[in-house]
């Protein structure tokens, strides 16, 4: 089994290089097989591919009982991919075994299982972003290694962009300056005048659905500030590089603008969440902790509360309307209760419009 997995990993790397799957997909798949499948089969005394039997995987869901149903079902899909596209294809396992619908037992998904990555309420968001902008950055402001301050300033703007655009972390990591259009769309002030308002239009493609979309985003001033910071950083530290349209927005100038790995953004988020953890209220309908994907959930839930057209929102988010409602509609109904309970005073019923079906 170990030898077969090594061969499968090499083939999957070729698919990564060809652009058929992402590095993240490859990493997650191999992690599942090494961390869960191999130990599980060893517990069943299955170490050779020819030892796989129709009942070999029946207890997988029980063996992984501490994981969520969503995680277990996702792992089963990854395991079946390994069985189908390597073991069966290389005749290391009979094809009829995989055709058996009872080979695996998937778990039913309940609505409560979809409560991961909860949206962040405004009070909690302020606590988190204020800590990232303040203590998190200032802690290394005078550090002799200037790279730390650059990284933490990058993460501050990264979090702002996710929360205000609804992009996934993977999309933002791959984002390049050529995908962003800045437009000045003046707006009226409370005094009746007008002021400049920089809006960005971001063109991106979701890695999961491969759906191309354009996202209007109120992050013009913040992204311009980040661009100016990058330019000044290069100048102050005499780095022989320049920012071009093909440069990654969240790239490292000292490493030819290569972006950081996804897990580094995740670790920074956990650090920020834990720093203010005791003060966080959490989501009303979910006990799950806030994650980087919670920023995407926040964007979607905020627009649902605001009453944004759901078809427009689904297009911006890159999700089918049904998926949007099933996975993201967890808003507090009290935020829109006025629409249901408000009474229009001063109006009486127009009796002439009533229809009596018995007359």
Nearest-5° Cα angle at 110, 109 to 116: 90
DSSP 8-state symbol, 244: -
228-233 — which CB contacts under 8 Å span 24+ positions? 229/153, 233/146, 233/150
Reported pTM: 0.70
- The answer to whether 52 and 46 are in contact (CB under 8 A) is yes
Which residues of the chain, if any, have pLDDT below 70?
109-115, 206-211, 318-359
Q: What pLDDT shows up at residue 294?
A: 93
pLDDT at 343: 43
**Range list of H helices, 121-253:** 122-131, 137-138, 146-165, 169-174, 220-236
**Closest of 39, 63, 42 to residue 51, by C-alpha:** 42
The residue among 348, 329, 339 whose CA lies nearest residue 115 is: 329
pLDDT (0 to 100) of residue 22: 82
Alpha-carbon gap, residue 229 to 156, rounded angstroms: 12
The DSSP code sequence of 247-304 is SBTTEEGGGTTEEPPHHHHHHHHHHHHHHTGGG----TT--SPP-THHHHHHHHHHHH
Distance in angstroms (rounded) separating the CA atoms of residues 123 and 152: 22
Ramachandran angles phi, psi of 309, nearest 5°: -50, 125
Radius of gyration of the chain (CA): 26
What is the structure's pLDDT at 336? 46
- Beta-bridged to residue 203, according to DSSP, are 214
Which among 88, 106, 100 has a CA at the least distance from the CA of 49?
88
Angle at 42 between CA 36 and CA 47, to 5 degrees: 115
- Give the model's pLDDT for residue 328: 58
Query: Which pLDDT value is given to residue 48?
Result: 95
């Amino acid at each position: 089994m170990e030898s077969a997995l090594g061969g499968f990993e090499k083939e999957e790397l070729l698919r990564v290089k060809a652009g058929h799957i992402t590095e993240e997909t490859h990493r997650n798949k191999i992690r599942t097989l090494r961390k869960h499948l191999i130990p599980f089969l060893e517990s069943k005394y299955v170490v050779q591919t020819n030892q796989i039997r129709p009942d070999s995987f029946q207890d997988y869901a029980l063996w992984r009982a501490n994981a969520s149903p969503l995680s277990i079902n996702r792992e089963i899909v990854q395991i079946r991919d390994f069985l189908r596209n390597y073991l069966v294809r290389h005749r290391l396992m009979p094809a009829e075994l995989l055709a058996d619908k009872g080979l695996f037992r998937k778990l039913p998904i309940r609505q409560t299982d979809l409560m991961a990555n909860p949206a962040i309420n405004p009070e909690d968001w302020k606590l988190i972003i204020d800590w990232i902008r303040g203590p998190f950055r200032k802690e290394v402001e005078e550090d002799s290694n200037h790279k730390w301050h650059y990284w933490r300033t990058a993460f501050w703007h990264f979090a702002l962009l996710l929360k205000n655009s609804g992009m996934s972390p993977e999309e933002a990591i791959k984002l390049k300056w050529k995908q962003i259009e800045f437009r000045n769309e003046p707006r009226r002030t409370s005094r009746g005048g007008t002021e400049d308002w920089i809006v960005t239009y971001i063109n991106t493609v979701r890695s999961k659905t491969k759906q191309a979309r354009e996202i209007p985003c109120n992050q013009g001033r913040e992204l311009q500030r980040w661009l100016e910071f990058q330019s000044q950083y290069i100048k102050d530290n005499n780095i022989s590089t320049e920012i071009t349209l093909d440069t990654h927005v969240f790239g490292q100038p000292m490493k030819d603008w290569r972006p950081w790995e996804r897990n580094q953004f995740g670790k920074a988020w956990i650090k920020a969440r834990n720093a203010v953890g005791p003060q966080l209220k959490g989501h009303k309908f979910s006990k799950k902790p806030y994650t980087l994907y919670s920023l995407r959930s926040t964007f979607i839930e905020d627009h649902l509360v605001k009453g944004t057209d759901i078809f427009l929102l689904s297009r911006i988010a890159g999700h089918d309307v049904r998926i949007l409602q099933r996975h993201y509609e967890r808003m507090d109904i009290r935020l829109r209760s006025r629409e249901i309970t408000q009474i229009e005073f001063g109006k009486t019923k127009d009796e002439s419009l009533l229809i009596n079906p018995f007359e």
